[in-house]
Amino acid sequence: MDFNLTPEQTGFETAVRRFAQSELARDAVARAHSDDYPWDVARKMARQGLLGITVAEADGGVGGSLMDAVIAIQTVASVCPRSADVVQAGNFGAIRVLAEYGSALQKEKYLRPLLAGEALICVGMTEPDAGSAVTELKTSATPAPGGWRINGSKIFTTHGPHATVILAYVRFGPGTHGIGSVLIDTRAEGVRLGKRSAFMSGEEWVEIFFDNVFVPQDMVVLGEGGFKKQIAGFNVERIGNTSRSVALARYAYEEARQWAMQRRQFGRLLCEFQGLQWKFADMRIKLDAAQLLLYRAAGNADTGFPSATETAIAKAYCNQIGFEVANEALQVMGGMGYSRESLVEYCVRRCRGWMIAGGSIEILKNRIAEGVFERSFPQRAP
């Protein structure tokens, strides 16, 4: 067992850091507070080979491992937290499911522009009555000549207002077995965006309505019986959220550490107060433990999908401590941490969201508990 990055991984990290510092650092604060999707960053990342890191070379990707993608997203986040969202969208989200299960035609139509940073895919799972209980989703796919008619709606879709295509979870038939997924162009007839809203993080979301939208058969990614495969792919998305939780917490911790070494109160540097030293020691322990859980889940996946249990353990812990560490960093910076002079308050707000998004901490713990007791605990009322 070796807890260090390989020389190749270290070299890759150095190259990504150099790119982030020269291209992303300058506007990091403004970018974090902008409503727009950073398309300019996406195009730069495409040129730099930071989109499709785990996508096969034959499909236009880099052919790397999940660890490579984790190194990229965390390194970018350490310089520009908001730009890490572009790494997420270009490597960890629905794009990974498309690359794994999509047909040659689907990849030609959608994957190529995504890898070029010219398109954006979002995942539409959650519905007004199906959040944690996602298998209760109602959006229906009914047969039509040459394909399917889609009716229903999705909420909380990250990048919903900016996306060009949606990977929508739909119901082809009853039960969990009836769930699959289709690709829907956001400009397709019958797709309607509702009122814009925003999360506490500032990210915008919008309710997406499907009113009898026609989806040709060749735009079905996974048909009936595809739900398990879909969730296996979704574990990659979870690793992306996990990576950013740790990275943004570390960003806030670094800011606070620097602050504590130069801010004086009562004639002493903040770092000389034991009450604050212990906060930093706790933050450091949590960050190190979280990073190791993340590396275990990502490292064991290699170029495939990560284990559901290792992902759940990593995500639950990293989301929890990500928020705790960022919040504690804000506390030791006092009023300055709470203000928009730095991105510490932004990191707190973003980390809070990942405790809910992509499988809340409670839902992940339900899954972990099933492993503990080696049996399933159906949550549905009998």
Ligand X SMILES: Cc1cc2nc3c(=O)[nH]c(=O)nc-3n(C[C@H](O)[C@H](O)[C@H](O)COP(=O)(O)OP(=O)(O)OC[C@H]3O[C@@H](n4cnc5c(N)ncnc54)[C@H](O)[C@@H]3O)c2cc1C
Residues that bind ligand X (CB under 6 A): 122-126, 131-132, 156-158, 199, 353, 356-357, 360, 362-363, 366, 379
Closest contact distance (angstroms) between CB of 5 and ligand X is: 29
Task: Give the up-direction half-sphere exposure of residue 20: CA atoms within 13 A in the CB hemisphere.
Answer: 24
58 CB-near residues (< 8 Å, 6+ apart): none
Beta strands 165-171 and 121-124 are: parallel
Q: Which amino acid is at 317?
A: Y
Tell the smallest beta-carbon distance from residue 238 to ligand X (Å): 11
Nearer to ligand X, 247 or 333 (CB): 247
H-helix or E-strand spanning residue 273: none
| Closer residue to ligand X in complex, CB, 333/357 | 357
CB of 15 to ligand X, least distance (A): 29
Please list, residue by residue across 77-91, b when 16 or more beta carbons sit within 10 angstroms of its beta carbon and e when fewer do. Answer: bbbbbbbbbbbbbbb
Residue entry with tokens 């067992």: 1
Which ranges of 93-226 would DSSP assign to H, the alpha helix?
Answer: 94-101, 104-106, 112-115
- Minimum Å distance from CB 160 to ligand X? 7
Minimum distance from residue 21 beta carbon to ligand X (Å): 27
Closer of 264 and 375 to ligand X (Cβ): 375
Q: How far is the CB of 198 from ligand X (least distance, A)?
A: 10
Nearer to ligand X, 286 or 367 (CB): 367
Q: Which is nearer to ligand X, 206 or 219 (CB)?
A: 206
Using the 8-state DSSP alphabet, how is residue 6 labeled? P
376's tokens: 């399933």
Q: Which residue, 122 or 252, has its beta carbon nearer to ligand X? A: 122
Instruction: Report the distance separating Cα 133 and Cα 122, nearest Å.
Output: 20
Q: How far apart are CA 172 and CA 84, in angstroms?
A: 34
Angstrom distance (rounded) from CA 374 to CA 370: 6
Q: Give the DSSP H/E element, type plus range, for residue 55.
A: none
Q: Minimum distance between the CB of residue 272 and ligand X, rounded to whole angstroms?
A: 38
CA 229 to centroid of chain Cα atoms: 18
Q: Which amino acid is at 349?
A: R
Tokens of 193: 């965006």
Q: Which residue is nearest to ligand X (CB)?
A: 131
Cβ closest to ligand X, residue 157 vs residue 230: 157
The Cα 53–Cα 87 span in angstroms is 9
Minimum CB separation from ligand X for residue 126, in Å? 4
Q: Please, what is the minimum distance in Å from the beta carbon of residue 127 to ligand X?
A: 8
The sign one gets for the Cα dihedral 3, 315, 101, 188 is negative
**Shortest reach from residue 253's CB to ligand X, in Å:** 21
Closer residue to ligand X, CB minimum distance, 270 or 348: 348
Q: Measured between alpha carbons, how far is 7 from 219 in angstroms, rounded to an integer?
A: 41
Tokens in use for 320? 């929890």
Dist CA 252 CA 342 (whole Å): 9
Q: Of the two residues 64 and 359, which places its CB atom closer to ligand X in the complex?
A: 359
Between 221 and 260, whose beta carbon lies closer to ligand X? 221
